[in-house]
Structure 1
Amino acid sequence: MALLLVLPAGVRAEVRLLAFGDSLVQGYGLPQGEGFVPQLEARLRDGGHEVSVINAGVSGDTSAGGLSRIGWSLAEDVDAVIVVLGGNDLLRGLDPGDTRENIGGILEEIRARGLPVLLAGMQAPGNYGAAYKEAFDGLYPALAEANGARLFPSFMAPLMGDPEAPDLAAARALLQPDGVHPNAEGVARIVEAMLPQVEAMLAEVE
């Protein structure tokens, strides 16, 4: 006779949260334990969440690269997803329409599996021109609404302080020497700002 093993009442298996993105997720330039994934997992566990955050960040990845690998990344048997992509599209000056189509495809794949998702936005610098900035910045809220995703409007905004009066000098102190990637303290600011959204998402699966 087969034995059926079940968890005691009120106890569930550990939640698996997929952090899917580029070097900002991967932890580029940071010592082990100080990147986005380990810092987020530590904060969630400190808050009483039984969660494992899976690092699916690939340094240098574009939204097209993300679209090409989202299917097998979801084969990890995950419960929820954070998507952080678009930064490298910006660095290469890629067409915002292509970025929108690629991230849209990623969200559709996640939605098809019935998983809650948090989309982290990016913001284009002004030197690309007003039309480019409007198209790029606007793709994230539009995609989140169209796909029923939660939206964290700007991954890097927590480094800037007050959005009405951004402190550029303070922001630079939270970046690595390359001026692109956050240092450990910068990551901690991002995690702190994103935490309420992540916890709200986890409440759907815990």
Structure 2
Amino acid sequence: MIIIKLLQAIFLLMLGLTLPALANDKKIIMLGDSLTAGYGLPADWALPVKLNDYLQKTFPNIVVINQGLSGDTSGGGAARIGESLSQQPDGLILALGANDALRGLPPSLMRDNLSKIIEAHLAKNIPVFLVGARAPNNWGPSYGAEFDQVFTDLANQHDLPFYPFLLEGVALDPELNQGDMMHPNQKGVAEIMSRMGPAILEFVRAL
């Protein structure tokens, strides 16, 4: 039976035809900053690549597209909405905000930018998985509380699957970070995957 299907596939390809997409074909975009882009890591250790490997154990034909841009803020991500939508993804993993915090940008501005990204994708029936960030302590507790609340509020407002902190269990651990103590090393990426991977798998199952 397998041989027959293979011969059918070869025949269709010879005719210039394509096989119907398998039911588990999915395209996921991860929109983020240097933490998504894989700053300081070998290309095959960028978070979207490892996420792709992880998800392919269940969905062999899934593709996770790396739309991480080093230094990007929520405003930069909002400016890239068209780029994301043009690829017609089945889902979006939104992981922006870390650079907003590092620069001390107003949380209200981040809220507006993230809302634009979320609403633009939901309007096209593209589900969104929201990944949160945390503000450094140097901006004070008031800023940190307001910043963190943005992600919780957006997740609740739009009923989004939500992972509160991308670097949970990794942040400030010298064993899991590069020399700058801001970007995960390979061990750090593996730790992120072990913690966040199952939640994203459930997100993909629901697509």
Letter in structure 2 aligned against 1:7: P
Structure 2: which 5+ residue stretches go unaligned?
1-16
Task: Tell me, yes or no, if the aligned pair for 1:123 and 1:133 is still in contact at 8 Å.
Answer: yes
Instruction: Using structure 2 for the length normalisation, give the TM-score.
Output: 0.87
TM superposition outliers: structure 1 runs of 4+ over 4 Å: none
* Per-residue CA distance 1:118-169 (angstroms, 9 max, x = gap): 1110111222111101100110010011122110010011316xxxxxxx5x
Q: What aligned pairs does 1:8-157 form with structure 2 within 5 A after superposition?
A: 11-12=22-23, 14-157=25-168
Letter in structure 2 aligned against 1:191: M
* Per-residue CA distance 1:144-195 (angstroms, 9 max, x = gap): 11122110010011316xxxxxxx5xx1211111111001110111112111
In structure 1, distance between residues paired with 2:70 and 2:134: 19
Task: Tell me, yes or no, if the aligned pair for 1:62 and 1:87 is still in contact at 8 Å.
Answer: yes
Equivalent residue of 1:107, what SS? Answer: helix
**Greater RCO between the two (CA within 8 Å, min separation 6)?**
1
Over the residues paired in the alignment, what is the CA RMSD in angstroms?
A: 1.9
Aligned to 2:184: 182
Equivalent residue of 1:141, what SS? Answer: helix
Equivalent residue of 1:159, what SS? Answer: coil
What is the CA-CA distance between 1:77 and the residue it aligns to?
A: 1.6
In structure 2, distance between residues paired with 1:130 and 1:36: 30
1:7 is the counterpart of 2:7: no
- Equivalenced residue count is 192
